[in-house]
Chain A
């Protein structure tokens, strides 16, 4: 491949001595601008090493790095940037903290901040149970609909968030307990069956039969104290409305039987202990704005 050097006839330029299939390579120098740019880059890099943090060095038994002569530190820059953003945001957060919920709701600018903050906090804290779109699932209420066990006003939602449900560590938690009618032997198996049939008629999914008529008597005696006449529920006590189309634990016969026989007692943490008050306020505003808020 390597041949002796040779001068090209046409251009008068020496070849490199390389030859492939009789094709020789001209040994033209690099363009001057290119070479000088290259030198400039070398000079620049040396200056950069000195001025900016560059080299890892082993000093006093540990690895560290040359700090550069101007003391530049990217971490400090990031920290300053974050501090700046936080300070900018704090103006709005202070207002949210100071004002009551209905007032914030009237303020479009504050609502924008509150909804964005609420959405982020919801994704971090609430989505595991309630779903990323707050659509819930069996045992975890859908927060988009208009069915609220403990009330759907802004204040009700705020209290629920702050103190949780059946969260015994919080003295003000929302608490109720439904008896386990079969397990605790308050009702017989037949009576539970009858009351189940009756409950299904309340929401229009069951037919009126002899059994459901028997069940209505049991219901009137045992259930209306909390669920009220006609099973319309009582928010003061957190007793769900049994006459609507929405079932927290499923509306089929087996699920309803299970609820009567063994009761249900879902839990929600008291977020007032875990999140700061401004975030809880933002969450209340966000959940209220999902579409079911009253």
Chain B
């Protein structure tokens, strides 16, 4: 690599990159703690536009947030793997799976909610709810979704946990990677990747259960008699899990995910963000036991916050694009603060505004209800209310009336005018239901069903969970043609479920000669 010798010192990217690990090694451990000579991957000193990935070796920490993350991981993984196995009795004509995306039959089942193809807007509503919730949470506490519940974070955490079990913690892993080839190294690496692959396959495997009856599919999968498509999708999802959780990790969050780019618009000075309190920590430097803390900050520059960070950054550089708000640096710092006998919370969830207030000598305060958050909350409540209302009031019948357009109308031999309509009725009940159809709006008009002799009222039975097309005709007698205005009149089809009395109606029009 060529560089301009007059300006390029050790701070240039090229020099910085190659010497990064070497330098870190050479540094003595001045603190007496398990001082990590960790350097942030995005440290200004080492930044290059075209850098190779710097491998991150996140160190295990213990503390409140780590505990929260373990719990969240257990819950989310549990929900993911177990949900398809929850049974839900829907009677003989529908699958008994509580959550099922049944594409072949074009139905989505979510516990007591059953979504038909024409109701997919409920899914849109769900996505709107999810995104507004994400906005709200981000405006309150930054990327906590990313740090705790994002599948990428959960699986990466799981993969790092496995790596740690097999290869040891941070320093052991660094040593292992730098050691020359040995059988023990090969064994550890192969075991790690094997366990990763097993987890990846289990992850991809669990996903397909959301799309078919889980117990049946599981049996078929194990006896190798399942549809090849199932194996294909398991392979695809397993590959993504393995690559994203095991190999790409933080690069997914930094380079692939659009969220870090958007998040900046979501939070403000009153948002709770993982913050290094530089007003308390600086000036930083090594600390020897039994020396005074006067005239210096609490940060002993031990590097633990950087070593613990799964994104490999240094939170002391301030808020950064890479930070996923997982708070492991807080746990790492708190551990150290306890050891050096200083109050914890040098790194803590804090708001930029509070930092300013402290510096100005004002009282810290929490300001949750801000215009931004109130608007997000309002939208959230509104959309939830609309969703809830429409879900609660939706009926078990769906009606569509399609008017024949070719020809617009037919004159019959007695001079009366006839229009044709296709009445589409969906019976969403799991039993066969009898329906009656009548019309309203044209008093003298008569409704008949195709192929059924005139005079019979139009009644039809519809099979459970299905749609039926009924071709009908409406006849307006010659002497009632005066009820047409400019050759047109509005007409309403009313369909009644004869056992429950539920009715639905659909507005259409009747056309005749002008």
Chain A: residues with CB nearer than 8 A to chain B?
7, 9-14, 26, 28, 105, 131-135, 142, 144-147, 241, 244-246, 289, 291-292
Contacts and interface: CB of A to CB of B under 8 A. Distances in A.
Given A7-B2, A291-B473, A246 B13 contact: no
Contacts of A144: 407, 410, 418, 420
24 contacts: A7-B2, A7-B4, A9-B3, A12-B4, A12-B8, A12-B13, A14-B2, A26-B49, A131-B407, A133-B407, A144-B410, A145-B410, A145-B411, A145-B418, A146-B413, A147-B413, A244-B413, A245-B412, A245-B413, A245-B415, A245-B478, A289-B471, A291-B420, A291-B450
A11 B413 contact: no
Given A12-B3, A135-B406, A291-B420, A145 B49 contact: no
Contacts of B418: 144-145, 291
A289 B48 contact: no
Contacts of B411: 142, 145, 245-246
Given A133-B406, A289-B450, A245 B414 contact: yes
A244 B478 CA distance: 12
B8 A9 contact: yes
Contacts of B14: 12
Nearest to A112: B469
Contacts of A26: 49
A11 B410 contact: no
A105 B116 CA distance: 31
Nearest to B15: A12
Question: B404, B412, B418, B473: which has the most chain A beta carbons within 10 Å?
Answer: B412
A219 to B, nearest CB: 20
A14 B3 CA distance: 9
Ranked nearest first, the 5 interchain pairs of A and B with the lowest CB-CB distance are A133-B406, A135-B407, A244-B413, A12-B3, A245-B415
Nearest to B6: A9
B1 interface: yes
Interface of B: 1-4, 7-8, 12-14, 48-50, 404-407, 410-415, 418, 420, 450-451, 471, 473, 478
A174 B314 CA distance: 96
Nearest to A204: B415
Nearest to A136: B407
A241 B413 contact: yes
Contacts of A14: 2
A10 B404 CA distance: 73
Contacts of A10: 12-13
Contacts of A291: 410, 418, 420, 450, 473
B13 A11 contact: yes
Given A7-B2, A7-B4, A12 B450 contact: no
Given A133-B406, A145-B410, A291-B473, A12 B12 contact: yes
Contacts of A292: 410
Nearest to B2: A7
B316 to A, nearest CB: 24
Given A9-B4, A11-B50, A245-B478, 8 more contacts: A12-B3, A12-B13, A14-B2, A28-B50, A135-B410, A146-B412, A241-B413, A289-B451
A148 B2 CA distance: 96
B413 A145 contact: yes
A233 B102 CA distance: 59
A291 B471 CA distance: 9
A12 B415 CA distance: 92
A241 B413 CA distance: 9
Nearest to B4: A9
Contacts of A246: 411-413
A28 B473 CA distance: 74
Contacts of B7: 9
Contact of B49 (A11, A105, A131): A11
A239 to B, nearest CB: 15
Given A145-B412, A291-B418, A11 B48 contact: yes
A153 to B, nearest CB: 13
Contacts of A9: 3-4, 7-8
Nearest to B415: A245
A292 B405 CA distance: 17
A162 B354 CA distance: 92
A146 to B, nearest CB: 5
Contacts of B48: 11
A10 B16 CA distance: 12
Contacts of B2: 7, 12, 14
Contacts of B412: 145-147, 245-246
A146 B406 CA distance: 17
Contacts of B450: 289, 291
A142 B2 CA distance: 88
A228 to B, nearest CB: 15
Question: A12, A145, A292: which has the most chain B beta carbons within 10 Å?
Answer: A12
Contacts of B414: 244-245
A212 B412 CA distance: 26
Nearest to B413: A244
A198 B405 CA distance: 36
B132 to A, nearest CB: 37
A245 B410 CA distance: 12
A9 B4 CA distance: 6
Contacts of B405: 133
A291 B413 CA distance: 13
A181 to B, nearest CB: 25
Given A7-B2, A12-B1, A12-B14, A132 B406 contact: yes
A92 to B, nearest CB: 19
A151 B413 CA distance: 14
A14 B2 CA distance: 8
A212 B191 CA distance: 108
A10 B7 CA distance: 8
A10 B48 CA distance: 9
